[in-house]
Structure 1
């Protein structure tokens, strides 16, 4: 939601209302245009953690008056703003501290934010055109700039020099991050039962890993027979159906010969190992749904 507010007697547009931000942010270009003297800036400020997990070092912080609303239904508070040097489509981001201070209630659907004032409920509407413009500008910035540009070089606490700028690092192509795999047979009696491991392991570790997999081959399942199930004394499942709803039997659906054959084959497998049993007089009934597999079969 993009609005216009009055900050330090300046009419400021492109102000983003962000409930997810724990701080108020004013960007360096907008702060300089206000002409506020540098003596009001508090330089002792800790780094800011962005949503992407990057550490951003603010220029400083400053307490400014911010007013919402128009005419007689206006409310104003003093709140702290972090000054951030970062190219962006917005001038200011108003976070939870200011919104809580004015007891604001936002309706994104109506593009409306309301708040109590001395003369009744005040309101301010979002600027949809500005929101679209900011969104388009943000997309262009992402397309033209490296993903780590928001991070800055910071001095180490012990004065040993600057932290390496991640923008100077050469990104690794995605193709190099994909490791080739090789198939390993777990049991010579069943050559079709294979698992895949990476090819970059050193020979000694590779042999240890293969021996480990073959020693614990029983943890892999290749058919229904390898899954004997869990005793109902340990855990059981139950359909929680409201007694207020009447059970319904669906009309029996007809299938073609291929689906019937696949259906019977699957049911026979489940019955043979005791996964399912026949219910002679069900109080409710739903048709089975047959879905074609990507590699064939049902």
Structure 2
């Protein structure tokens, strides 16, 4: 039996199709009020910066640090047959993640993320599909 200190506390990290690219290292974060994507990821996807709607917003991180976004962009997301156009705020900074899916995506997909089970369950027409984390539960 594992002790409480042995339990993992990993974030829920998935891979999904965004626009025309398969994007790795996407954090599903129910604590985030916006969807974020990094500028470097858009460049790697060959999406021109002209497609970013210039609209700077101030984001406040959990540690109180503030950062301005470059703008926003609408991109098609698809995972396990569930597709939707999502608004992403664009950040030009270094990050451990290529994108962060916050409550807007979670609510639009009617998804139920579980960091404990390291998966996201999403209702689909013929039942429920499970998106497993890139980081397997220990």
So what's the TM-score if we normalise by structure 2?
Answer: 0.85
**One of 18, 35, 44 as aligned partner of 2:46:** 35
* Distance in 1, Cα, partners of 2:82 & 2:133: 17
Larger Rg: 1
Q: Does 1:91 align with 2:98?
A: yes
In 1, Cα distance between the equivalents of 2:117 and 2:58? 35
CA RMSD of aligned residues (A): 1.5
Aligned to 1:216: none
More strand by share: 2
Report the counterpart of residue 127 of structure 1 in structure 2.
Answer: 134
How many residue pairs end up in the alignment?
A: 126
SS at the partner of 2:90?
Answer: strand
Task: Confirm or deny that 1:2 pairs with 2:13.
Answer: yes
Partner residue in 2 for 1:118: 125
Q: How far apart, CA to CA, are the structure 1 residues paired with 2:37 and 2:19? A: 12
What TM-score results when the alignment is normalised by the length of structure 1? 0.41
**1:100 and 2:107 aligned:** yes
What aligned pairs does 1:1-298 form with structure 2 within 5 A after superposition?
1-69=12-80, 74-128=81-135
Pick 1 or 2: higher relative contact order, CA cutoff 8 A, min separation 6: 2
- Measured in 1, the distance between the counterparts of 2:123 and 2:89 equals 26
Q: Distance in 2 between matches of 1:106 and 1:46?
A: 26
Q: How far apart, in 1, do the equivalents of 2:18 and 2:42 lie?
A: 10
CA distance in structure 2 between the partners assigned to 1:87 and 1:55 by the alignment = 14
